[in-house]
Amino acid sequence: MADVRIKRGSTLSLTFAFGNADGTAYSLTGVTTQLNVADPRGNPLASVTPVNSATPGVQTVTILSTATWPEGLMQADVAADFVAVPSTVSPEQGWLYDGSVFAAPPAPPEPTLAEQAAAALRAGIAIVSTGTPALSGTYACDGQHQGRLDRISTYIVRNGKFPAGLAEMPWPDVAGEVHSFPTIAAFEAFASAVADYVTELDAVIMGVSNTLPPAAADIP
C-alpha cells in the first residue's frame, strides 16, 4: 500500500481500485474487503469495511476522525474474501449474494400514475400549430413557466395587447429555440393548451383522475 500522510485528527479517505491482469476492472460481486489500521506497535486502531463505488472495481473507505491515533507511521492492510463463481453464472456489480447463490437485483418497480404524471409535467407538452407551423415545438410546463404564462395572460386580458409594447410574443421551447407568437389569439390558444394539460396532470398527481392526458395538443 502506498504511503498516506495526514494530520492527526483529520478524516482519512481512501480509494481502492481492483483490476484484472489485462487492465479491466475486477468485478467485486461476492468480494468482501476489510481495511485494518494499527499503530507502530501493532495495536489495532480501526477496522472498516470499504463500500463499492459507482465505478466498477473501485471501493472507498472513510474514517471520520484520527484524533486518538498516535503520531508516527501507522500500519494498514486490506483483507479480501473472494467467492468462487460458477462458470454458468456471470454476475455483475450490483448483483445480490446470499452466501451460496448469486442473483440479479430485482427490477425497479413500475412508476405509479402519479409519478408518470410528474415526469410528464417535467418533460413538457408538444404543441402543433396547424395555422402557423413555426410555432410547433415542445414547451416546458413546469411551475416557473406556468407562472410566466399566467402573468402575461393576465396582462393581455387587462390591456388587450402584449406587454412591453411587443408586436409579437417570443417564447422558447425546451430546446431553447425561440418561437414568436404573432397574435394574441395564437398566444392565448397556446397558453390555454398548456393550462389544460397541466390541470389534467395535476388531477392524476392528486389522485382525482386515473387517466394520463396525451402529451401533445393542436392549436390553430
- For 151-205, the DSSP string reads HHHHHHHHHSS-GGG-SSEEEE-TTS-EEEE-SHHHHHHHHHHHHHHHHHHHHHH
Q: Are 111 and 120 within 8 A, CB to CB?
A: no
Q: Of 16-20, 97-101, 119-123, which gets the smallest average pLDDT?
A: 97-101
- Residue 89 binned pLDDT confidence (cut-offs 50, 70, 90): confident
CB neighbourhood size of 194 (10 A): 21
Per-residue pLDDT at 2 exceeds 70: no
Per-residue pLDDT at 116 exceeds 90: yes
Contacts of 30 (CB under 8 A, 6+ apart): 82, 83, 85, 91, 97, 102
Per-residue pLDDT at 132 exceeds 60: yes
Q: Rounded CA gap, 147 and 141, in Å?
A: 9
Per-residue pLDDT at 83 exceeds 70: no
Give the percent of the chain with pLDDT over 70. Answer: 96
The residue-averaged pLDDT of 111-131 equals: 96
Grid cell 412508476 — which residue?
A: 111
* Confidence at residue 5, expressed as pLDDT on a 0 to 100 scale: 82
Q: Of 4-8, 57-61, 137-141, which gets the smallest average pLDDT?
A: 4-8
- Residue 95 binned pLDDT confidence (cut-offs 50, 70, 90): confident
What average pLDDT is seen over the chain?
90
Instruction: Tell how many helices (H) and how many strands (E) occur in the chain.
Output: 3, 13
Is this prediction's pTM over 0.75? no
Residue ranges of the domains in the chain?
Answer: 12-103, 113-219
